[in-house]
Amino acid sequence: MDLRKTSDDRQFREEVRDFLVRRLPPNLKAKAYRLQKLTKDELVGWHRILHEQGWGGPSWPRRFGGTGWTVMQQKIFEEECYLAGAPRYVPQINMIGPALQRYGTPAQQEYFLPRLLRLEDWWCQGYSEPGAGSDLTSLRTRARRVGDRYLVSGQKIWTTNAPWANWMFALVRTSDEGRPADGISFLLMEMGSPGVTAKWIKGIDGGGTLAEVFLDNVEVPVANLVHEENKGWAVAKSVLEHERVGQAGFGQCKFLLKLLKRIMSASDANPHGAQSSPALKRRLAELEIELIAHEWSLLRMLSASKLGIEPSMLKNRGAAIQQSLTELMLDCVSPGLRYGDSPALPKGAEPDEGLPTPAAVAAAYLDFRKVSIFAGTTEVQKNIISKALLA
């Protein structure tokens, strides 16, 4: 695949930029530059704007209502959205969506995919459990089949925005025979069902999106089984593959770099001398070089006909760069900030100027510690890479 930008790609980039200028709500852009989290209503509202434009499924094929964009167009779209301060499209679009397109029954596809494109349903991911995080195949949430229903009991943890969700795609154990991965099934579960309880978990950043879900004899129709019973691990891996590609975080990295440069160039908002510090400037240059290399690695992956270890490699590099960018950002604004501090805005740095407070930067730094954990820890990704290379 020729990855050089064509005139069509340049025209498409201008189309995306023009759309963002016209349709991106100013309050969402302001929140992005202040490193503030968006509400569910704000995210849904933005997705509805994208859907009206016909861009609700950026990576979906046309036959499922998606854009049918090339991989280069998808990259351009993500990059321009981030650089403009637009929210990333809701991750579930590119997680449960492709899984249902590949493994779902015609009835599941007909019902769920159009609703997902319109974001009429909000999904959460029921994977991790207490004691079964990095070793996901050791999960203990159990589904017992009774007639045309499964009765599901167990607990899920680190379930992003679970209290917002009305649906969860979950991994459950339906057999103890064979390898641990052989007895796992993939179920679609209504969060409003009797026996489902979702509770927020306060993150290290003081807020966050994490939650835990308790399941007590929850009835799930057998019709909500995706693929085959005891073969859910294949579906789970396909979801993780899409998630890890998304967590390469190229657009996020570019936005953080742009914001970091703003902070470093704003002398009034930078009382600790980042502007004149050769050490901080050198770190900035090194990170920018790393990001360029990361972009080329992403392009090589996007041009590959078949994926192997590339998602794991990109996920690890993207996580490391995001963490380094937020660490440098914190060093620039307030290297002595303690957890829980809420200092006043620096002189001349009002919120409408597009600069985060030191407290917001500290919260972002703490929040970004999770990117090397979710979607498979850095250590798990290294194991995947090493096993593939040694095989």
- Choosing from 228, 243, 288, 290, the catalytic residue is 243
Burial (CB < 10 A; 0-12, 13-18, 19+), residue 268, is: exposed
Name the nearest CA neighbour of 330 among 361, 371, 289.
361
Q: Are 62 and 68 in contact (CB under 8 A)?
A: yes
Q: Are 220 and 143 in contact (CB under 8 A)?
A: yes
Please state, in angstroms and rounded to a whole number, the distance separating the CA atoms of residues 141 and 129.
Answer: 8
Contact by Cβ (8 Å): 220, 193: yes
What is the C-alpha separation between 319 and 371, in angstroms, rounded?
Answer: 5
User: How far apart, in whole angstroms, are the C-alpha atoms of residue 5 and residue 3?
Assistant: 6
| Matching residue, tokens 């597009």 | 354
Is 243 marked active-site?
Answer: yes
Helix then strand then coil, in percent of the chain rounded to 5, is 55, 15, 30
Contact 185, 134 (CB under 8 A): no
Closest to 332 (Cα-Cα) out of 271, 254, 246: 271
Q: List the alpha helices (DSSP H) in 54-137.
A: 71-84, 96-103, 106-117
Strand, helix or coil for residue 275: helix
Q: Which residues pair with 221 in a beta bridge?
A: 149
User: What positions carry a catalytic annotation?
Assistant: 243
